[in-house]
Chains A and B, each alone.
Chain A
Amino acid sequence: MAELFAKLDALPVTLKHLLMGLLPGATPEWLVSVVSAVLTITPILAVFPLMFALTTVIERKGLGRIQNRIGPNRVGIPLTDIRLWGFGQFIADGIKSLIKEDVVPRAADKVVHFLAPIALLIPVLLTYSVLPFGKNMVPLDLPQTGLLFFFAVGASTELSVFMAGWSSRNKYSLLGAMRAIAQMVSYEIPLILSSLTVVMMAGTLSLTSIVEHQAGTHFGFLHNWHLFTPWGFVGFCLFLTAAAAEANRTPFDLPEAESEIIAGYFTEYSGFKFAIFFLAEYLGLFAMCGLGITLFLGGWLPPVNIAPFTWVPSWCWFLGKLSALIVLFIWLRGTLPRLRTDQLMGFAWKFLLPMTLINLVVAALWHMSGGAVHIGIRWVVGFAMLAIPYWLLGRGFEASVGKRVYRFAN
């Protein structure tokens, strides 16, 4: 029984080896590596955009339920009465965006305007190349610099946002781009600092080794996920907050606050270019969630080390955790109101940044006291060191957010 499941676990890898074996023996070496790369990239390009498509429908339906309406439930299979609960909606949306007219403003900087969506999508797709999706399933294993690659490539999306906002020659676009860049630059610091705790504990930048580092067990059954430690729990919350801001998700969606600046930096994009922005945004969110899963939620490891859980293929665990995080983000979007710009910046610099720095100290203490001090004491001390600053900082932050004084409107 367990062998069968192990085979199922390795199915994608076996499939790739099978397809590689079909190549004729006289194939030149460069062609072999090209075919291997294509075989690795294709599932990523198939699975994650499809997941994006399904997420758009689920998000609209979920938000509809939260707002006490029904949401899309009509589009099913054309020419029949089969409705599929509206899950054909994304195909209709895709076709619509493909056949829409591509409007480029006359004053726009044509070349930069054209390049911006491409320059946004490529780095986002590149970030997927270092994520371990399952056991032995990492497209590009960088044992020295995996995490650094993720952040380096992710940071280059900021410039694409600027390209889109500046080249549109539109005040709303430029305002949206400025907001987006200010937000992304500010929230990158807590994002990287909260991931740094994991690097300190695992002692490596390789994402595969970080997952393997979480493989041991607590009490014989509970996996050694970083989430199940004081610094890991707080780090994950901080990471998720910063990730939401990096991906421009509510409550941090000021760059595209439709009630204020239409659609932010991609106001002047239409048709399929708009769809590419949409796609890049969601793929960026998925990649961030994937990194969070890898760093804190044990990557492709099951939560408990007991038989029925270990039978489920590792890539199913990864995708399952990813879906859970996506649903969490949809739920947050339906629940939380949008922040104001000053609150947003204050939150990053006065709350998240000190918390991540304290978390680094706690992680260091946790690491130093390993083995010497009883685990209960470590837990109590670690949690106290995080909970008290949280309470104090939160109180101070709330006190600073007073009644807003309208300097010009009054």
Chain B
Amino acid sequence: MTLPFAIIAGLTVGSAIAAMSLRNMVHCALSLVLTFAGLAGLYLQLNAEFVGFTQILVYVGAVSILIVFAILLTRSTEPKDEPATVTPWVGISVAVAAFLTMALAVLASPIGKRLAAPASEVSVKTLGQKLMTDYVLPLEVMALLLTAAMLGAVIIAMKDKEGSR
């Protein structure tokens, strides 16, 4: 474990914990953005430049704005004064148990002992060519799905406007 990895991982985990535990919704959203940025840092550490910068462009640039707008438009950001009624211990124990199961399964599997395949130099060009040839069907399906979702959102928003007039 190198020092840069430790810093980035600490930042990611710390901001993820903050995103779960802070009381003000906007603060949670901002911490979550820090988590996204930390993940991008981890991708960069793995030499996945394209994925890392795309993560920043999509998550830090766009998804965060979406989250923040959703919070602002739907609910008050004022933290409620009432104390938390649910004790966190049940959730924590379940999470720890799930993590331990998975970690044990991963450690027991022979994957870790296998030698890493020789990493071929993956350029952005290759990525694009693969997307346009081998993986063109998933890409098109995703595009269709997103278009449908966008049309749905527009229709919902339009109905709302007509009703208010």
A and B: partners?
yes
Contact B65 A185 (CB under 8 A): yes
The verdict on A233 contacting chain B, using a C-beta distance below 8 Å, is no
Report the bound CA distance from A159 to B68 in whole Å. 9
Greatest chain A CB density within 10 A among B49, B60, B61 is at B61
Q: For the complex, what is the distance from the CA of A205 to the CA of B57, rounded to whole Å?
A: 15
Q: What is the 8 Å Cβ interface bit string for chain A, positions 153-168, against chain B (1 contact, 0 not)? A: 1011011001100100
Question: Nearest Cβ distance between residue A349 and chain B, in whole angstroms?
Answer: 12
Segment at the A interface, from B9-17, B26-34, B85-93: B26-34
Are B65's CB and A159's CB within 8 A? yes
Q: Say yes or no for A112: interface residue by CB 8 A criterion.
A: yes
Interface residues of A in 299-358 (CB under 8 A from B): none
CB of B25 to closest CB in A, whole Å: 11
A-B contact count (CB 8 A): 60
Bound-state Cα–Cα, A152 to B56, Å: 6
Contact A148 B53 (CB under 8 A): yes
Best-buried of A109, A152, A166, A188 by chain B (most CB within 10 Å): A152
Smallest CB–CB gap between A109 and chain B, Å? 8
A158-B61 in contact given A145-B49, A153-B56 (Cβ < 8 Å)? yes
Residues of A178-212 contacting chain B, CB below 8 A: 181, 185, 188, 203, 205
Nearest residue (CB) in B for A166 is B26
C-alpha spacing A149/B61, complex, angstroms? 12
| CB of A261 closer than 8 Å to a CB of B | no
Instruction: Tell me the count of chain A residues lying within 8 A, CB to CB, of chain B.
Output: 22
Q: Contacting A155 at CB < 8 Å: which of B26, B60, B68? A: B60
User: With an 8 A cutoff between CB atoms, is A144 at the interface?
Assistant: yes
B62 in contact (CB, < 8 A): yes
Bound-state CA distance A166–B124 (Å) is 38
Residues of B near A149 (CB, < 8 A) are: 53
Q: B135 at the A/B interface (Cβ < 8 Å)?
A: no
Which residue from A144, A151, A156 sits with its C-beta under 8 Å from B123?
A144
Residue ID in chain A nearest B50 by CB atoms: A145
Residue pair A152, B68 in contact (C-beta under 8 Å): no
**Is A142 an interface position by the 8 A CB rule?**
yes
Contact A142 B49 (CB under 8 A): yes
Which residues of the partner chain A approach B123 to less than 8 Å between Cβ atoms? 144
User: Shortest CB–CB separation between residue A34 and chain B, in angstroms?
Assistant: 14
Q: Which of B24, B26, B61 contacts A156, CB < 8 Å? A: B61
Interface residues of A in 369-389 (CB under 8 A from B): none
| B54 on interface, CB distance cutoff 8 Å | yes
**Chain A residues with Cβ under 8 A from B64's Cβ?**
159
Q: Are the CB atoms of A145 and B30 closer together than 8 Å?
A: no
Of residues 85 through 109 on chain A, the ones whose CB sits less than 8 Å from some CB of chain B are 109
A159:B124 contact, CB within 8 angstroms: no
CA distance A144 to B128 in the complex (A): 12
Residue of A nearest to B37 (CB): A156
In the complex, which residue of chain A has the Cβ closest to the Cβ of B123? A144
Contacting residues of chain B (29-44) with chain A, CB-CB under 8 angstroms: 30, 33, 37
Q: Which residue of B lies closest to A143 (CB)?
A: B123
A188 to B27, CA, bound (A): 26
Chain A residues near B37 (CB, 8 Å)?
Answer: 156
Chain B residues whose C-beta falls within 8 Å of the C-beta of A158 in the assembled complex: 61, 65
Q: Contact at A155–B56, with CB atoms within 8 Å?
A: yes
The chain B residue sitting closest to A145, CB to CB, is B49
The reply to whether B56 and A112 form a contact with Cβ atoms under 8 Å apart is no
The answer to whether A152 and B57 have CB atoms under 8 Å apart is: yes
Q: Across the two chains, which residue of chain A brings its CB closest to B33?
A: A159
CA distance A112 to B124 in the complex (A): 37
Contact call B27/A112, Cβ cutoff below 8 A: yes
* A-B pairs with beta carbons under 8 Å apart, 26 shown: A112-B26, A112-B30, A142-B49, A144-B124, A145-B50, A145-B53, A148-B50, A148-B53, A148-B124, A151-B57, A155-B56, A156-B56, A156-B60, A156-B61, A158-B61, A158-B65, A159-B30, A159-B60, A159-B61, A163-B30, A166-B26, A166-B72, A181-B69, A185-B62, A188-B61, A203-B125
**Taking beta carbons and an 8 Å cutoff, which residues of B are in contact with A?**
24, 26-27, 30, 33, 37, 49-50, 53-54, 56-57, 60-62, 64-65, 68-69, 72, 77, 123-125
Instruction: List residues of chain A with CB under 8 Å of any chain B CB.
Output: 109, 112, 142, 144-145, 148-149, 151-153, 155-156, 158-159, 162-163, 166, 181, 185, 188, 203, 205
| Given pairs A148-B50, A152-B53, 5 additional interface contacts (CB within 8 A) | A142-B49, A145-B50, A145-B124, A151-B57, A159-B60
Question: What are the 10 A-B residue pairs with the smallest beta carbon separation, nearest first?
Answer: A155-B61, A152-B57, A152-B56, A152-B53, A148-B53, A156-B60, A145-B49, A144-B124, A145-B53, A159-B64
